[in-house]
Amino acid sequence: TDAGSRRLAGRSEPSTQEVRETSGLDSVHHFLARRRFFLRLALKLRNQCGAVVAASLYDGIHPSESGEGWLLRCLSPVPQSFMDIGANRGQWLELMMQANPGAVGVCYEPAESLRDLLGSVVGRYPTVQLRSVAVADHIGAGSFRDLGADSQLSSLLEVAAADGTDGVIHGVETTTVDAEMLRTGFQTLDFLKIDTEGGDWAVLRSAGACLRSHRIRVVQFEYGANWATAGATLTHAAGWLATLGYRVFRLRRTSLEPLDLGRYGEHFSFSNCVALAPGVTVGSR
């Protein structure tokens, strides 16, 4: 019964006073909701409060602020193998190779506008390959919205924000992480980095077999506004990873912070999240 559940949880039945207070607040809420001025005020306050929450979770996107370089330096052992999904201009790749110049990996970037630029960066590292395909939740083909070499927002069309932004749409080959693990011959993968502008949850699902067997040690993925466009939630993704035995954190400038979705809610603002397989440790450096 509800009463029994409350006793098991260490809570007593609500008092008459508590019931009256709740009922009174409900009446106030309904009264204010019928006044347009108060409704507009409530919406503005909600939006500003959301912006404050987002700002509290944002350290910046530059590598010196985002914590990405810090994480690579502090992992024990240092990653020897990686996949960089959504490699863009090679910014994260440079961090990876600074942490371990001998690391072996593959960069994935389907944007035609970045092919030459990224190719010149990848070409400096003989242990790194470049694949001009999109990683998604299926093997086949898709449509990609390319916003140009100066943008970091290009993405598969089905997760692209409907914001009217100009771009060139072209067809791309799609693959999955599990398929790429077979193709590359990686038995295990030390680091899977995902930044696909809203397609991150689809990429995570595409690694399901390898994640279930803990063949991937560390996953870093971006969360933000495009998750809402894609119909994905951090609550679902983090819960799924937890059922597979991964510990999920929010990446800060010099630390890993436990996700507190009960406190912050589904805010759809920029964060990098990190999932660690059992036994993976992060030191301080």
In the predicted model, is pLDDT for residue 11 greater than 50? no
131 and 246 fall within a common domain: yes
Residue 165 confidence class, pLDDT cut points 50, 70, 90: low
- Determine the average pLDDT of the residues in 178-207: 97
Beta-bridge partner residues of 173: 141
Mean pLDDT over each residue of the chain, to the nearest integer: 87
51 and 99 fall within a common domain: no
pLDDT value of position 285 = 64
Residue 256 confidence class, pLDDT cut points 50, 70, 90: very high
- Determine the average pLDDT of the residues in 253-265: 88
Number of separate domains in the chain: 2
152 and 252 fall within a common domain: yes
265 and 172 fall within a common domain: yes
Scan for tokens 């979770």, then name that residue: 57
In the predicted model, is pLDDT for residue 193 greater than 50? yes
pLDDT value of position 104 = 99
Q: Which domain holds residue 17?
A: 2-56
40 and 117 fall within a common domain: no
Buried b (16+ CB within 10 A) or exposed e, 78-93: ebbbbbbbbbbbbbbb
Helix or strand or coil: residue 36? helix
Express each pLDDT in 60-79 by its tens digit: 777 778 899 999 999 988 99
In the predicted model, is pLDDT for residue 140 greater than 80? yes
- Determine the average pLDDT of the residues in 187-216: 97
23 and 101 fall within a common domain: no
C-alpha distances out from residue 163 to 20, 160, 232, Å: 46, 9, 18
pLDDT value of position 2 = 44
80 and 44 fall within a common domain: no
86 and 185 fall within a common domain: yes
pLDDT value of position 283 = 84
pLDDT value of position 39 = 81
- Determine the average pLDDT of the residues in 185-194: 98
Which of 36, 56, 76 terminates a domain? The answer is: 56
Residue 96: CATH number of its domain:
3.40.50.150
41 and 13 fall within a common domain: yes
39 and 163 fall within a common domain: no
109 and 17 fall within a common domain: no
Residue 177 confidence class, pLDDT cut points 50, 70, 90: very high
Q: Looking at per-residue confidence, does 270 or 5 come out higher?
A: 270
pLDDT value of position 164 = 58
Percentage of the chain lying above the pLDDT 90 cut: 60
Which of 56, 75, 94 terminates a domain? The answer is: 56
How far apart CA 128 and CA 90 sit, in angstroms, is 11
In the predicted model, is pLDDT for residue 19 greater than 70? no
Q: Does residue 77 have a cis bond before it (omega within 30 degrees)?
A: yes
In the predicted model, is pLDDT for residue 4 greater than 60? no
pLDDT value of position 103 = 98
88 and 18 fall within a common domain: no
C-alpha distances out from residue 242 to 174, 246, 277, Å: 27, 5, 10
Express each pLDDT in 204-223 by its tens digit: 999 999 999 999 999 999 99
- Determine the average pLDDT of the residues in 107-123: 96
